[in-house]
C-alpha cells in the first residue's frame, strides 16, 4: 500500500477517536474526563474523587508520561501519523482554493479545540451552552485561534521550535530512528517537489538526516508521483529495506517507553490516594 494511502486514514481515525471519546459516557460518567466541576477523575466509565490539585497533577502526569513514553516507543512516527498538525497539512495539500482552505482549517481547528476542552467539561453542556460565552466557550475560541494560526502560518516554526514533543525527540538519539532517506542522487531531476511538500520550512531530505523531520512521508509520495513518469520508484524511501517502520525502534526503547507508561499509571493511582478502591462509583448516584 502506498504511503499516502496509509497516512490519511491513520490521521483521520486518530482524530475521530480524539473527538469521539469526550462524548462517550455511561450514567453521566465519561470514558475519560478531568472533571474539575465535580472534582473527580473519570476513566473507563468509573469516577474517582479528586481535588483540584490532584486533577492538575494527574493532567501533568499524563502529559509528561505520554510525552516520554511515545518518544521512546514510536519517536517522530507519532508526528507524521497521529499529530493533528499533520492532518492539517494533509488538508492543506488537498485544497487549492485559499478561501475554502481557510474555512476548512478554521472548522478543523474549532473541532479540535472543542474536543480538547470537552476533556475538562461535559461536551454536551459545552455544546448546549456554547453561545452563552462562558469561560469554557472563551477557551474554545482562544484555542481555535491558536490552532488556526499554527496550521496556516506557523506550522514549521512551531514543530521545530515550540513543540514539547520535539524537545524530547531532540535529546534522544535520532539517527537510528530515522525512517526516510534519500538515495540515488544521479536519478534525481531536481524538481524539488519533496522540499515543497515538506511541512517544515527549509528542510531538504536530499541534504541528509535532519532532526526536525516529522516522518510524515509526504516527500516520499511526492517523489514517487514524479518518478513514476519515468517508470522508476521513489528516490526517497524508508531506511529499512523490509519497509517495516517499527524495525527502526530499538528493543530498549520499547522497554523504557512501557516502563514510563507504567510509572505514569502508578503515579496517578498514588495521586488519587487509594481512590481506585475506596471512592470508585459505577453510577452517578453518589456523585451529585
The predicted-structure confidence for 252-263, as pLDDT tens digits, reads as follows 555 666 666 677
* pLDDT at position 285: 43
Q: CB-based contacts of 31: which residues, under 8 Å, 6+ apart?
A: 21, 22, 24, 25, 42, 43, 44, 45
If 0-12 CB within 10 Å is exposed, 13-18 middle and 19+ buried, where does residue 130 land? middle
**Do residues 101 and 109 lie in contact, with contact meaning Cβ atoms separated by under 8 Å?**
no
Query: pLDDT tens digit string along 15-57?
Result: 899 999 989 888 888 888 998 888 888 888 888 888 888 888 8
- How confident is residue 107, by pLDDT bands cut at 50, 70 and 90? very high
CA gap 183, 146 in Å, rounded: 38
Report which secondary-structure segment, H or E, holds 126.
helix 123-128
**Do residues 203 and 79 lie in contact, with contact meaning Cβ atoms separated by under 8 Å?**
no
CA gap 22, 25 in Å, rounded: 8
Mean pLDDT of 142-167: 82
- Closest to 127 (Cα-Cα) out of 142, 143, 111: 111
Query: pLDDT tens digit string along 182-227?
Result: 777 777 888 888 887 776 666 777 777 666 676 667 777 788 888 8
- Closest to 245 (Cα-Cα) out of 119, 36, 102, 82: 82
Amino acid at each position: 500500500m502506498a504511503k499516502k494511502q496509509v497516512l490519511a486514514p491513520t490521521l483521520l481515525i486518530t482524530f475521530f477517536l480524539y473527538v469521539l471519546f469526550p462524548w462517550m459516557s455511561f450514567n453521566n460518567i465519561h470514558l475519560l474526563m478531568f472533571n474539575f466541576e465535580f472534582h473527580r477523575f473519570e476513566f473507563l466509565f468509573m469516577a474517582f474523587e479528586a481535588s483540584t490539585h490532584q486533577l492538575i497533577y494527574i493532567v501533568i502526569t499524563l502529559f509528561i508520561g505520554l510525552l516520554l513514553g511515545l518518544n521512546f516507543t514510536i519517536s517522530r512516527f507519532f508526528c507524521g501519523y497521529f499529530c493533528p498538525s499533520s492532518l492539517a497539512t494533509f488538508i492543506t495539500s488537498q485544497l487549492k482554493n485559499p478561501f475554502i482552505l481557510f474555512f476548512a482549517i478554521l472548522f478543523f481547528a474549532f473541532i479540535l479545540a472543542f474536543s480538547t476542552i470537552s476533556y475538562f467539561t461535559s461536551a454536551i453542556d459545552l455544546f448546549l451552552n456554547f453561545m452563552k460565552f462562558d469561560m469554557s466557550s472563551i477557551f474554545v475560541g482562544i484555542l481555535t485561534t491558536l490552532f488556526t494560526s499554527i496550521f496556516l502560518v506557523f506550522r514549521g516554526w512551531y514543530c521545530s521550535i515550540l513543540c514539547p514533543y520535539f524537545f524530547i525527540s531532540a535529546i534522544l538519539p535520532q539517527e537510528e530512528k530515522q525512517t526516510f532517506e534519500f538515495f540515488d542522487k544521479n536519478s534525481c531531476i531536481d524538481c524539488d517537489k519533496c522540499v515543497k511538500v515538506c511541512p517544515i520550512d527549509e528542510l531538504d531530505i536530499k541534504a541528509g538526516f535532519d532532526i526536525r523531520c516529522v516522518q510524515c512521508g509526504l516527500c516520499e509520495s511526492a517523489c514517487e508521483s514524479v518518478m513514476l513518469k519515468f517508470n522508476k520508484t521513489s528516490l526517497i524511501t524508508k531506511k529499512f529495506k523490509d519497509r517495516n517502520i517499527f524495525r527502526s525502534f530499538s528493543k530498549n526503547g520499547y522497554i523504557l517507553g512501557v516502563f514510563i507508561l507504567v510509572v505514569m499509571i502508578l503515579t496517578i493511582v498514588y495521586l488519587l490516594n487509594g481512590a481506585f478502591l475506596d471512592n470508585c462509583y459505577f453510577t452517578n448516584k453518589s456523585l451529585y
